[in-house]
Structure 1
Amino acid sequence: MPKIFVIGAGITGVSTAYALLEHGYDVTVIERQRYAAMETSYANGGQLSASNAEVWNHWSTILKGVKWMVRRDAPLLMNLAPSWHKYSWLAEFVSNIARYRENTIATTRLAIAAREYLFEIAERERIDFDHVRRGILHVYWDKAGFDHATKVNEMLVQGGLDRRPVTAAEIAAIEPALRADFHAGFYTPSDSTGDIHKYTTGLSLACAKRGGTFLYDATVTRIERRERFRLAYTTHSSGGRAAEQVIEADGIVVCAGSDSRDFAAMLGDRLNIYPVKGYSITVHLDDPSAQAAPWVSILDDRAKIVTSRLGEGRFRVAGTAEFNGLNRDIRDDRVRPLVEWTRTLFPGVKTNRVVPWAGLRPMMPNMMPRVGKGRAPGVFYNTGHGHLGWTLSAATSAMLVQAVAADLPVATRPAA
């Protein structure tokens, strides 16, 4: 039975571990945090959204970014300090504008396939993650925004998605809690929402029941290849002293989010992932706020803000994109627009108990996840999912297992 290391216990790493365990591999997950799903998979927007599969490689994104440069509260913010990594990433981003349509359609198809995998896993393993299957409503404030969305919708429909235009009156009927004067929108009834942290934690427990090993508080320091991979990592005892340990395996899968770039360099590969920071607030709901908060998920395209209802007592609002390197600071001027947007569109929701959060989306310049083999035998990647990590991870994990099986097949027992 081949032994596989999975680096990272976020949504992609745990999904990868589960898929490998299902196919008979001996799996060890290595995570620098004390628990699973404590970084980017902790408090994202909560959407399982094939309807948000449009890649960002479009000239309109560039123009908006330039226009927003002077606004600290802008939906997209760029730290202009010199950085070779950042500017090389942006150059590759622009070079992929020509593949905008092709990649959007491919992402839509992948998201639809992932949805079925994830639902099956959650049911099989009885994972409760505050799942709400009431669709996602995209709203547009003016005709220009809606006209662009109509062109995007043609690509999403070509990718197999059931997404339909709705009038302002239909928006009000679909989500009565919404208080705004919109031009029109699009509704995707098959999309859904939930708590990514609860799902990932539940899936990690399912992996452990299936024989998977999790090494937490473990920081990888070096990776060597002899006959097998030798991975050294440090842990911290209760006394605070670091202790290095070395373990061996037949293969390595990198699922380390924005840090995947550094691990790829260790393994002889170039992986141009950039960390794009996103923010969220979790609004704790008490009556009458619980009655005033929406159940249908919203995506406001102009503000670049999404919402998810997490059970009776919580409401998640997330958005923005910040190009600022590995900076994880939670900035008040980036959180405040989320609070103000909530107060404006849902005036009955009290925002006296709001928990802010920031996480780093691992983005490839073409907005497509990196799934498959590395340069060296036994090296694999399932990373770079950007803003669609939860939406895509179940499908990319299934794809990854096929790549692993081609190089490191599990021996089958002869029939009795």
Structure 2
Amino acid sequence: MSSYNDCIKFSLNIKDPLLEFLDISIGKYRNRDAKFYHAVAHLDQCLNCGSTNIVHNGHLYSNVRYPALDASLPVFIRVAKQRVICRDCHMNSMAETELVEKYCCISNATKRKIIGSLTEDWSMKSIARQTSTSTNTVQRVLERYGYSTVEDIDWLPEYLAFDEFRGVGRQLHFIAIDGHTHKIVKVLPTRLKKDIINYFKRFPLTVRNKVKTVTMDLNYYYDIMAKELFPNAQVILDRFHIVQMLNRSFNSCRIQEMKKHKKGAKEYNLLKYYWKLYLKPFEDLEKVKPYHQPRLKDTLTQEQVVADGLRLSPELENTYNLMQDISKALRDRDTDKLKDLIKSKDHVGNMMHTTLNTFKRNLHDILNAAKFDESNGCLEGTNRKIKQIERTAYGYANFTHLITRIQLEEKGAIIKEKASSWYIAA
């Protein structure tokens, strides 16, 4: 091999010994300027019987797309594949190369680059543009990678987290992840109770009995389903959702009281423009240093602003105190106080009253939220990433494509390391 050939192979990171590079040129491909590397794929024996008693029978030329070093020009390797006729078995053979799969014009290196790009937050159209391929090619690579349908039914994580996200066709999909490793366990096309039960009942009872905790939001049938599927597991309601319900209940009461006052009045402004202070933990409010409050035309501390707002209504004050006390009990992991507060009979807003009834129905799970460290925080983070994937793609119409893309981005670093071994010559 010449030094010219070795130099090109080194620059393109090609190691196929049967491929010899001859020249480089600039030409046209579909009316676009492109860079061409001219190469010959040699064949010195019959691929059918292995005989070297062969007769050369010309070449088959193929333009193979290859990743460009920069975005200036698309790169093609024009491979002349040598064809031979065997004198012993009288069969035709054609040279093959590790550069590209048989009957394909997209190089394995390009496919590896597509896989690596699919692990990033890029749209398929952007990836196609960067790799000088079509969107359909990117989709085919995505489908070929696919996601494994072979699942180990002899194992489940000890700490499960349940939730749902909106995906294909604005439909809600059920998702379960490992609460400790944060790896996705399963994503189902729907969140229907029967589908979730059918999936988990494929696991033997001995496996399901090993699950220790299941964290979830306040979805009504998740609780019933978890207790049926995992008899030994403690069901934990996510603390974020508990506090969120409390905040919404207080805000509902605050807005009702606010609307009783004239717009622009001090009472209205107290409840309208300082809503964040009411949701802030009371102990974190500034109690010493006053600030000028332009909406109130007065100099007050944060504590004074909140106190003035709560004086407008005993019902609002009771609702605020209950919200603050339950939130503090959760932070302090005080289950006894939490239990007493949930059973409180103070006069509170209508929505807070409904929230308390919900908490009473799920009292055991609420108390578990204070006892255990597990939460749905990791799952909410996963859902955030999934939403970003969908946002970048302007939504997905194919559920398999969505799940594959989720798994690719989840395993991003591993995929990039192993990509070189996924597309080798057939």
> Which band: TM-score by shorter chain?
under 0.3
Question: Greater relative contact order (Cα 8 A, min sep 6): structure 1 or 2?
Answer: 1
Choose between structure 1 and 2: higher helix proportion. Answer: 2
| TM-score, normalisation: structure 1 | 0.23
Greater radius of gyration (CA): 2
**What TM-score does the superposition give when structure 2 sets the normalisation length?**
0.23
